[in-house]
């Protein structure tokens, strides 16, 4: 089983968008995928409840404040959506079961401040120090024509961590989510540009 932790201490950073679409990718590839949600808002679980019967199946499992346990056996891939302000024992527990950690960041000074502090905490975690969990960054809702996008690129460069891609600010994610779908469930003619932006993520999650 390969587990992916999607996390950032800042609310509204795009964690659920990234989590649901990553789960949608694995589902459409034919993998046995489970999407876990430890956020109190339960956005990913609500998205699963909207998912059409005809769409590729994505399973989940019950998770509570005292139940951050390994997902049930039988799935090849797991994506874990997390709450804002994830720290302490809960952070330690989810990192222990995750092979990869993905940090989505929006081009906002507040997001960048929160992310810088969080990465210091993350790098101090035992599983990360031992090399048991790889970390990568993704720019979310980015308009490359803006100064904010340039500032986000400079911020990423200062961290010394892999930057996978920058996902554009588009309503396609909003529209897909409202229907319980990911961009990988939509016709390629509608998502061609977005699928191109996702290719580095796909390459990274599939790397050994």
The CATH number of the domain holding residue 78 is 3.40.50.300
Q: Look at the chain and report how many structural domains it folds into.
A: 1
pLDDT of residue 70: 65
Contact 141, 171 (CB under 8 A): no
Nearest residue to 197 via CA among 160, 144, 161: 144
- Name the pTM for this structure: 0.94
User: What secondary structure letter does DSSP report for 94?
Assistant: H
Looking at per-residue confidence, does 153 or 130 come out higher? 153
Nearest residue to 176 via CA among 23, 69, 59, 31: 23
List the structure tokens of 92. 């330690």
Region of 176 please: left (phi>0), alpha (psi -120 to 50) or beta: alpha
Contact 186, 172 (CB under 8 A): yes
- Domain encompassing residue 172: 2-206
pLDDT at 65 over 70: no
Looking at per-residue confidence, does 45 or 173 come out higher? 173
Which helix (DSSP H) or strand (DSSP E) does residue 3 occupy?
Answer: strand 2-6
pLDDT of residue 175: 97
Q: What is the C-alpha to C-alpha distance for residues 200 and 46, in angstroms, rounded to an integer?
A: 28
Chain centroid, CA 18 distance in Å = 4
Q: What is the C-alpha to C-alpha distance for residues 2 and 194, in angstroms, rounded to an integer?
A: 24
pLDDT of residue 38: 81
């Amino acid at each position: 089983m390969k587990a992916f932790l999607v996390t950032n201490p800042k609310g509204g950073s795009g964690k659920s968008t990234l989590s649901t679409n990553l789960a949608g990718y694995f589902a459409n590839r034919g993998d046995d995928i489970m999407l876990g949600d430890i956020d109190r808002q339960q956005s990913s679980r609500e998205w699963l409840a909207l998912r059409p019967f005809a769409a590729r199946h994505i399973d989940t499992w019950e998770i509570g404040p005292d139940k951050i346990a390994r997902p049930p056996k039988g799935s090849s891939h797991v994506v874990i959506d997390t709450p804002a302000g994830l720290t302490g024992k809960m952070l330690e527990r989810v990192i222990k079961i995750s092979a990869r950690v993905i940090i989505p960041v929006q081009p906002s000074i507040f997001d960048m401040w929160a992310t810088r502090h969080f990465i210091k905490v993350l790098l101090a975690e035992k599983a990360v120090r031992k090399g048991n969990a790889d970390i990568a960054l993704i720019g979310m809702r980015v308009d490359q024509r803006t100064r904010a996008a340039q500032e986000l690129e400079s911020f990423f460069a200062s961290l010394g961590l892999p930057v996978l891609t920058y996902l554009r600010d588009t309503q396609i994610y909003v529209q897909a989510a409202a229907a319980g779908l990911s961009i990988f469930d939509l016709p390629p003619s509608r998502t061609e540009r977005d699928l191109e932006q996702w290719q580095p993520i796909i390459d990274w999650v599939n790397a050994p």
